[in-house]
Amino acid sequence: MPTVPSVALNNGVEIPQLGFGVFQVPDDETAAAVSAALQAGYRSIDTAAVYGNEAGVGAALAASGIARDELFVTTKLWNADQGHDSTLRAFHASLAKLGLEYVDLYLVHWPTPARDLYRDSWRAIEKLVADGRIRAAGVSNFQPAHLRRLLEGSSLVPAVNQIELHPGLQQRELRALHADLGIVTEAWSPLAQGAVLAEPALTEIAGRHGRSPAQVVLRWHLQLGNVVIPKSVMPARIHENIDLFGFVLSDEEMTAIAALDRGLRTGPDPDTLN
Ligand code: NDP
């Protein structure tokens, strides 16, 4: 089974650099997908309250027999639940669905800037960290201005910012800011949901290594230092997406992929999603 390297977060907690995402997986199919991922060697699972499949994730974790401290579970606070007291309620509802005593990473899913509640939500998250219910607290889809505003009111620096990131949207400004602030960059839709996999530059590199374009893209993320959470419900792809540790992209290949950046957003714009 592949050994996935870990990345140290700013509080010393270690996150596997590769995890398994379950966005758009129906709850009744989630346990099977997560079980396949655990069997393939994934130990980090990324879900969210709004995905409606925390119960399916929890069922697979419980059935796996894998020790809790070998697992890394992420879930997220949904936008409608932002605010101090509603965050506390939503967090405990997530914990109950997952069947867990604590989560490894809890993220504010979107800043929803027009509602301006993320600082209140963060104060609730600070308490949950102090109570031992959250090992690491982070955010998702935060733009530089949202990160700066959050940090004006709190000394708890997010451990992670989970953002849309793939060869078509390389997020150079945010990655540089994260490096300055000690925030780990986690890439969602790391494969751009498949939208970049036919790029000639990627198929050419893939052919050279005898790998798939998806493996090349995931390997590119790992070599940049990103944490990645590809999703698949197909066992063959679940295996393919973790089989990344037997080849290395050259500097020239990394540069060729860097040239594919074109501002391609497959998901919502965080500045306007409210
Ligand atoms: P991904 O970039 O991981 O792509 C998933 C899609 O690509 C699926 O359609 C899958 O199909 C297909 N696919 C997977 N592996 C391969 C492969 N090896 N070759 C070809 N196609 C492949 O997209 P997601 O949007 O799912 O992002 C990953 C995770 O990130 C999510 O599951 C979720 O956990 C998180 N996320 C977080 C967001 C946030 O706002 N914080 C927003 C969006 C995602 P199939 O299943 O049929 O194999």
The CA 231 to ligand 1 mean position distance, Å, reads 4
Strands 160-164 and 134-140: parallel
- pLDDT at res. 150: 98
- pLDDT at res. 2: 84
Which of 270, 201, 271, 216 has its CA nearest to residue 247?
A: 216
Residue nearest to atom 36 of ligand 1 (CA): 188
Measured between alpha carbons, how far is 134 from 136 in angstroms, rounded to an integer? 6
The label of the residue with tokens 């607290």 reads: 137
- pLDDT at res. 59: 98
pLDDT tens-digit readout, 43-79: 999 999 999 999 999 999 999 999 999 999 999 999 9
The CA 266 to ligand 1 mean position distance, Å, reads 11
- pLDDT at res. 187: 99
Strands 14-16 and 6-8: antiparallel
The CA 131 to ligand 1 mean position distance, Å, reads 33
Q: Is 23 in the pocket of ligand 1 (CB under 6 A)?
A: yes
pLDDT tens-digit readout, 82-109: 999 999 999 999 999 999 999 999 999 9
Q: How far are the Cα atoms of 147, 182, 184, 265 from residue 268, in angstroms, in the given order? A: 18, 25, 21, 7
Count how many Cα atoms sit within 13 Å of the Cα of residue 258 in the half-sphere of its side chain: 10
pLDDT tens-digit readout, 146-179: 999 999 989 999 999 999 999 999 999 999 999 9
**Which ligand 1 atom minimizes the distance to the CA of 194?**
7
User: How does residue 1 score in pLDDT terms, banded at 50, 70 and 90?
Assistant: confident
pLDDT at 189 over 90: yes
Share of the chain above pLDDT 90, in %: 99
Count of CB atoms situated within 10 Å of the CB of 264: 15
pLDDT at 240 over 90: yes
Q: For residues 193 and 2, which has the higher predicted lDDT (pLDDT)?
A: 193
pLDDT tens-digit readout, 107-126: 999 999 999 999 999 999 99
Measured between alpha carbons, how far is 238 from 221 in angstroms, rounded to an integer? 17
pLDDT tens-digit readout, 207-230: 999 999 999 999 999 999 999 999
- pLDDT at res. 57: 98
- Rounded mean pLDDT of 246-258? 98
Domains within the chain, CATH numbers bracketed: 6-193+228-233 (3.20.20.100)
User: How does residue 241 score in pLDDT terms, banded at 50, 70 and 90?
Assistant: very high
- pLDDT at res. 237: 98
- pLDDT at res. 184: 99
Residue nearest to atom 4 of ligand 1 (CA): 193
Catalytic positions: 51
- pLDDT at res. 108: 99
